[in-house]
Structure 1
């Protein structure tokens, strides 16, 4: 196996190629957790893995609670399937809390403030979901100052404590709902069982990947990550490429699409963010290094699973996607790019015009 083969197997495992899931929530279940702090682009990450799904389809799944958005794995938002949230929180919330402890001390968010805030939030969302502003008022009524960064951190703590979770949007505003109203009860899962489950599903949905990739994505300690991988290593295959050990589920890949195949992915798509040590697999021969520009992740254009350029979106009366390419495209490659743009337009429900910048 070479780097090109690794890139292509990842595209298949992640559902960007090959078998697509029928429903948005099935995509989220397949990928366990999908980074989602940028809500609109994160919906596209689901949409392009879900057959003919549109932005409206993903939004409806979110509104109905078939997809949830909360803090898990790392101190940022992720889309999660409701049936996975309890065991994921049980596994990763302690690590997030440990990493954020010094910041919480700076903000004066001790155990007593956290307890009082959770009680205020529980009362506020008992009847129906509440916006962030409404929950700030609930804190004030409880005698808790929500100023500055205290409110977002108290909301995150309530998510990690299983008090709040995402509710349906109210216009363009996000709401928070009662956790138990949207998250079904689940069987008790021991820590070792959860470690094995997370490792199995990570390498099935993102392999070939390295142990260090898994550790960064999951936020587990090195000891816990190794324990999870060791528990499922017998189910996986391993390969050495350029001095790295990659693990993958041989049953996860399906048939690749005809070459060339193009994909537009946003800055926090799992094909980018789920890897750290081996993120450079995405970089094609025309562009060595990571998919970043001055430290910021790019919206990238993938051709046969490797990066050939980046894209940006301009919205006025119409949508125009401007692409900056690292090399000229052959005619068949440009057709593949236009097909990817048509799929993006179909997802948005609007035509998308293409503009190409030379580099």
Structure 2
């Protein structure tokens, strides 16, 4: 396919190259000027939990970015939050939302089919609820989930908890609604046409090529099965996208597995340990299935897989999982409880405290660190 194969790599070098691609290995592959550029680099960035997901964006933007800054960007529609790729929330840049939904929504509907049946949500009912919601939020009349549930109840439609969730997901996948600005701490829904500029559609093959290129550039080295998990696309679609991507991607085989990435050298090692406090749904953690083992080349998690059941997030030293952490915000302080899977040396301990201080700046609070060993 006209691509040159990279030199043979071992697992640690693959992981090192990957941290650079995901924007965690020192200087990012491209300088990110703002939240939309971070999200656009990935195509979509998982935001299952809104507040930790903002921290994932801030970590790629560098020191000084605050939680308030990202709330403002979200309220202004610089980044949006909706269901795309998989049955979960993602941050998406407005410029990408329409073509991503056109490409992936049919697959997500298939994945949601059992949930639709369980909620007795057939096609006519879902079309009716979507139309009612669209009319209600038109004219920048942004509504919360509770208000939408009350609206539907007035029309004789039961919409609570699970059922309401899938009514809203359907409307999002149909490109009718997306996130609106926050109202205090509550999320709202807005009419997508009022929130996202009109844009020309991409032909399906062009969209496939772009999503495949975007994933392997921002997540590589990674495998086709990793992308199938991340995007819900079939392996046949991914093969088509790879054939269309041309020289934008290169591949290498390691232990009989083919990894794809953008051409280029890995970032130079920092020369000192780097500690990252990643949210549990950071792209470095959830963006992979087949090659997720690259996070744990030393096998720290093999004996106790429940360690991945994290309350807040993952501690990563350089490229490898080394612990878990939880934050508690109190008056004027953020208390960071770090549970380590192995003892840290002096340099790693200093880097952990520096990472906690970055989190404190983000939250506008003094960081207090508590460390224990599992």
The TM-score normalised by the length of structure 1 is 0.95
* 2:308 is the alignment partner of 1:300: no
1:51-109 CA distances to partner (integer Å, 9 max, x unpaired)?
Answer: 23211111111010010000000001000001100000001100011111132123221
Answer with 267-276 or 144-153: which moved more. 144-153
Answer with 36-45 or 280-289: which moved more. 280-289
8 Å contact kept, 1:204–1:252: no
**1:219 & 1:153 partners in 2: Cα distance?**
18
8 Å contact kept, 1:286–1:308: no
Corresponding residue SS for 2:97:
helix
* 2:68 is the alignment partner of 1:22: no
Q: Flag the 1:252–1:173 CA change in 2: closer, same or farther, 3 A.
A: farther
Q: Which one of the candidate residues 208, 225, 241 is aligned to 2:221?
A: 208
Q: Flag the 1:253–1:295 CA change in 2: closer, same or farther, 3 A.
A: closer
Answer with 73-82 or 283-292: which moved more. 283-292
The residue that corresponds to 1:354 in the other structure is 369
The residue that corresponds to 2:137 in the other structure is 125
Superposed CA RMSD in Å reads 1.9
Corresponding residue SS for 2:19:
helix
Corresponding residue SS for 1:149:
helix
Kindly state the Cα deviation for residue 354 of structure 1 after the two structures are TM-superposed: 1.0
Q: Flag the 1:148–1:43 CA change in 2: closer, same or farther, 3 A.
A: closer
**2:351 & 2:193 partners in 1: Cα distance?**
45
Q: Flag the 1:78–1:351 CA change in 2: closer, same or farther, 3 A.
A: same
**1:168 & 1:302 partners in 2: Cα distance?**
32
Q: Flag the 1:149–1:290 CA change in 2: closer, same or farther, 3 A.
A: farther
* 2:23 is the alignment partner of 1:8: no
8 Å contact kept, 2:216–2:261: yes
**2:92 & 2:343 partners in 1: Cα distance?**
39
Corresponding residue SS for 1:45:
helix
The residue that corresponds to 2:192 in the other structure is 179
What aligned pairs does 1:252-263 form with structure 2 within 5 A after superposition? 253-263=266-276
Q: Which one of the candidate residues 163, 168, 186 is aligned to 2:176?
A: 163
Residue segments in structure 2 that go unaligned for 5+ positions in a row: 1-8
Kindly state the Cα deviation for residue 254 of structure 1 after the two structures are TM-superposed: 4.2
**1:164 & 1:112 partners in 2: Cα distance?**
18
The residue that corresponds to 2:122 in the other structure is 110
**2:297 & 2:255 partners in 1: Cα distance?**
15
Corresponding residue SS for 2:86:
coil
Answer with 301-310 or 313-322: which moved more. 313-322
Kindly state the Cα deviation for residue 148 of structure 1 after the two structures are TM-superposed: 4.3
Q: Which one of the candidate residues 93, 113, 117 is aligned to 1:81?
A: 93
**1:291 & 1:83 partners in 2: Cα distance?**
42
Q: Flag the 1:291–1:182 CA change in 2: closer, same or farther, 3 A.
A: farther
Corresponding residue SS for 1:66:
coil
Corresponding residue SS for 1:287:
coil
**2:359 & 2:308 partners in 1: Cα distance?**
26
8 Å contact kept, 2:16–2:266: no
**1:68 & 1:152 partners in 2: Cα distance?**
18
Answer with 85-94 or 102-111: which moved more. 102-111
* 2:330 is the alignment partner of 1:330: no
Q: Flag the 1:289–1:227 CA change in 2: closer, same or farther, 3 A.
A: farther
The residue that corresponds to 1:31 in the other structure is 42
Kindly state the Cα deviation for residue 332 of structure 1 after the two structures are TM-superposed: 1.5
Corresponding residue SS for 1:192:
helix
Kindly state the Cα deviation for residue 258 of structure 1 after the two structures are TM-superposed: 3.4
The residue that corresponds to 2:327 in the other structure is 313
1:94-147 CA distances to partner (integer Å, 9 max, x unpaired)?
Answer: 001111113212322122111211121112101321111111122123332213
Answer with 36-45 or 313-322: which moved more. 313-322
